[in-house]
Amino acid sequence: MSELKSYVVWDASTRWFHWINALCVIGLAFVGFVILHASDLDVSNAGKATLKTIHVWIGYLFVLNLLWRIVWAFLGNRYAKWRSILPGGKGYFQALRSYAAAFIAGHPEQYVGHNPAGRLGIGVLFLLITILAITGLVLAGTDLFYPPLGHWIAQWVAAPDVAPGSLRPYAPEMYDVAAYESMRAYRNPFAMVHLYSFYVLVVVVVLHVVSVVITELREGGNIISAMFTGRKTISGRPVDEGRSNDG
C-alpha cells in the first residue's frame, strides 16, 4: 500500500478567489434570472433598476476578485501560477494524452495541482468569466450609467437640456431619442454575448463540479477539501511533485 503524503497546494489567495467567485456567480445568476424574467414577474421599472443595481455591485466584486486572481497568477505559489493553471506550454499535450490514457485504463496519474484535463477546464472557465466581466461592465454603463463607461454613455444619450450626470435608468424623458436608440444598438451585441456566455458558464460549471467529484473518487487526493484547507493528501508519487511540497 502506498504511503500517504500531505502536500501544500492552494494558498490562501487562491482559495479565497475560488469561493468568492463561486458565491458571486451564484448571486449574479439568481439576480440575473429575475431581471431576465422581470416582465413575467410583473416587476416595476423601479424594481428592475434596483435589481440591476444589486447585479452590478455583485459584478464589481466579481471583477475585482478576477483582477486579483490575475495578479496572483504572477505572485502566488507554483500551483497558483499561469503555467500551472492554464493549458499549454512545453509537453502539455503529451501530458494530457498520458493522463487520459491512464485514467481510462483505471490507474489515473495523480497531481498535486491541476491535472492536464483540469487545466483545460480552468482555461475555459477563465475565458468565460473574463468575457462576462468585460461585457458586464459595458452593460453597467448602458443600463445604469455606472463606471467605468457610464460617464461617456450618459453624455452620449442625454437630451440637450439634461445634465448627463443626472440621468436615471428608465427615464426616457431625459434621453435624446435618436442617441438612445443608437446606444441600444451598440449595447445589443454585448448583451447577447453576456447572456449566452453565462449559459455556457452554467454548463461548464456543472461539468467542473462533476469532474471534480469523479476525479476525487477515482484518484483520491481530497480535491474538494483541499480548496478549504489548502492541502492534498496523496498516495504514491504525484506527477508534478516538486521541491515546494512539504509532508
Q: What is the 3-state secondary structure (H, E, C) of the chain?
A: CCCEEEEECCCHHHHHHHHHHHHHHHHHHHHHHHHHCCCCCCCCHHHHHHHHHHHHHHHHHHHHHHHHHHHHHHHCCCCCCHHHHCCCCCCHHHHHHHHHHHHHHCCCCCCCCCCHHHHHHHHHHHHHHHHHHHHHHHHHHHHHCCCCCHHHHHHHHECCCCCHHHCCCCCHHHECHHHHHHHHHHHHHHHHHHHHHHHHHHHHHHHHHHHHHHHHHHHCCCHHHHHHHCEEEEECCCCCCCCCCCC
Say if 233 falls within a structural domain: no
Give the mean model confidence (pLDDT) for residues 63-70. Answer: 98
Q: Which of 27, 66, 46 is nearest to 144 (CA)?
A: 46
Residue 162 has pLDDT above 70, yes or no: yes
- Domain count for the chain: 1
Say if 73 falls within a structural domain: yes
Give the mean model confidence (pLDDT) for residues 164-169. Answer: 95
In the chain, what percentage of residues exceed pLDDT 90?
A: 80
Residue 182 has pLDDT above 50, yes or no: yes
Q: Could you read off the pLDDT of 196-227 as tens digits, one per residue? A: 999 999 999 999 999 988 888 877 668 889 99
Q: What is the pLDDT of residue 198?
A: 96
Q: What is the pLDDT of residue 221?
A: 65
Say if 247 falls within a structural domain: no
Q: Could you read off the pLDDT of 27-42 as tens digits, one per residue? A: 999 999 999 999 999 9
Query: Looking at 2-11, 70-79, 89-98, 161-170, which range is the least confident one?
Result: 2-11
Say if 178 falls within a structural domain: yes
Give the mean model confidence (pLDDT) for residues 31-56. Answer: 95
C-alpha 66/C-alpha 20 separation (Å) is 10
Q: What is the pLDDT of residue 245?
A: 39
C-alpha 167/C-alpha 159 separation (Å) is 9
Q: Given pLDDT bands bounded at 50, 70 and 90, which one contains residue 242?
A: low
Residue 2 has pLDDT above 70, yes or no: no
Say if 44 falls within a structural domain: yes
Q: Are 27 and 51 in contact (CB under 8 A)?
A: no
Q: What is the pLDDT of residue 247?
A: 37
Give the mean model confidence (pLDDT) for residues 92-113. Answer: 91
Domain that holds residue 98: 13-199
Q: What is the pLDDT of residue 35?
A: 95
Which residues, including other chains, have CB under 8 Å from residue 140's CB and lie 6 or more apart?
56, 59, 146, 147, 149, 150
Average pLDDT, the chain: 92
C-alpha 227/C-alpha 17 separation (Å) is 10
Residue 103 has pLDDT above 90, yes or no: no
Say if 245 falls within a structural domain: no
Q: What is the pLDDT of residue 134?
A: 98
Q: What is the pLDDT of residue 77?
A: 94
Give the mean model confidence (pLDDT) for residues 9-32. Answer: 96
Q: Which of 41, 188, 212 is nearest to 121 (CA)?
A: 212
Q: Are 220 and 193 in contact (CB under 8 A)?
A: no
Any idea what the CATH number is for the domain that residue 45 is in?
1.20.950
Q: What is the pLDDT of residue 215?
A: 83
Residue 244 has pLDDT above 60, yes or no: no
Q: Peptide bond preceding 172: is omega within 30 degrees of 0, i.e. cis?
A: no
Say if 106 falls within a structural domain: yes
Q: What is the pLDDT of residue 220?
A: 67
C-alpha 167/C-alpha 63 separation (Å) is 25
Say if 206 falls within a structural domain: no
Which residues, including other chains, have CB under 8 Å from residue 11's CB and lie 6 or more apart?
76, 77, 79, 80, 230
